């Protein structure tokens, strides 16, 4: 299956600052997804990122807070802007993986703590 | 819109015992269904998926799941649990190129 490298794996940030999370895939993929997993909770889709177009955000998530870039078919970034303690979560990227018979493969996640 | 319910938040089983984790979904068409496992501090690993065909699906680590359309269920099973199976398990339904996850079931294994 596709291998997804996500950086950083964890970070502790001051409130009011921003953090950019990188997601690198070892093969070209059309769609990439960003999820949030709040402490003790399930995963919620933030947005879908297609190369060459604006990301599509789910209800409750806005571009100003979570800007996403998708410059090519193997890379994407998610920025968490103007952070508050409520943004403390695990952020995961995911792809539809043709090499895994179109299962969804996930990165190992970025554990963010905002203090 | 699709939804997934995992009725059991926590389950504790003895090592060597059988396991069944329940998953019920709501979706208007034939769903794509997935089970993922998340160990502490780790990302998600795909255990198995159902797209079509045989309703009994075999996965990795000795897991299997059965799709029952009449019950809108996709329960995960394992005949003999190992201590290393202790983790969080998520059922998900795929539709419109997105995954919707259930709330998860935390599995604890007693020695």
Q: What percent of chain B has pLDDT over 90?
A: 79
Residues 58-97, chain B, touching A (beta carbon < 8 A): 90, 92, 94, 97
Give yes or no for residue B85 having a pLDDT over 90: yes
B31 touches chain A (CB under 8 A): no
pLDDT digits (tens, 9 = 90+) for B58-75: 999 999 999 999 999 999
State the Cα torsion A108-B46-B107-B87 to the nearest 10°.
-20
Q: Which of A61, A37, A29 has its CA nearest to residue A47?
A: A61
Cβ-Cβ contacts under 8 Å for A40 (sequence gap 6 or more): none
Note the pLDDT of residue A2.
87
The pairing of strands A4-7 and A56-57 is: unpaired
In a 3-state reduction of DSSP, which class is residue A85? helix
Model pLDDT, residue A90: 95
Asked if B99 lies within 8 A of A31 by C-beta distance, the reply is: no
SS3 B35: strand
Is there a contact between A42 and B34 if contact means CB atoms under 8 Å apart?
no
Nearest by CB to A106, from B41, B43, B51: name it: B43
Cα separation, A114 vs A87, in Å, equals 7
pLDDT in tens, B21-47: 999 999 878 789 999 999 987 889 999
Rounded to 5°, the CA angle A3-B43-A69 comes to 65
Q: In sequence order, what are the residues at sequence separation of 6 or more whose Cβ sits closer than 8 angstroms to the Cβ of residue A43? A: A35, A36, A37, A92, B44, B90, B99, B101
Chain A closest CA to B14's CA: distance in Å? 24
Q: What burial class does residue A1 get, using C-beta atoms within 10 Å of its C-beta: 0-12 exposed, 13-18 middle, 19+ buried?
A: middle
Distance between CA A16 and CA A11 in Å, rounded?
A: 14
Q: pLDDT tens digit string along A14-44?
A: 999 999 999 999 999 888 999 999 998 999 9
């Amino acid at each position: 299956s596709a291998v997804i490298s996500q950086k950083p794996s964890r970070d502790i940030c001051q409130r009011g600052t921003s953090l950019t999370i990188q997601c690198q895939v070892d093969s070209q993929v059309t769609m990439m997804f960003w999820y949030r997993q709040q402490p003790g909770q399930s995963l919620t889709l933030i947005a879908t990122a297609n190369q060459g177009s604006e990301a599509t955000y789910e209800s409750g998530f806005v571009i100003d807070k979570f800007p996403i870039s998708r410059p090519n078919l193997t890379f994407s970034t998610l920025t968490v802007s103007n952070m508050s303690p409520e943004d403390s979560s695990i952020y995961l990227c995911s792809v539809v993986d043709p090499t895994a018979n179109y299962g969804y493969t996930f990165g190992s996640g970025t554990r963010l703590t905002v203090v | 819109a699709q939804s997934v319910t995992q009725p059991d938040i926590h389950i504790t089983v003895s090592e060597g015992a059988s396991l069944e984790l329940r998953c019920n979904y709501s979706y208007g068409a034939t769903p794509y269904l997935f089970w993922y496992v998340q160990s502490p501090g780790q990302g998600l690993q795909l255990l198995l998926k159902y797209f079509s065909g045989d309703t009994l699906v075999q996965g990795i680590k000795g897991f299997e799941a059965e799709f029952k359309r009449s019950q809108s269920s996709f329960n995960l099973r394992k005949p003999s649990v190992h201590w290393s199976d202790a983790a969080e398990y998520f059922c998900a339904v795929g539709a419109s190129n997105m995954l919707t996850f259930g709330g998860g079931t935390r599995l604890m294994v007693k020695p």
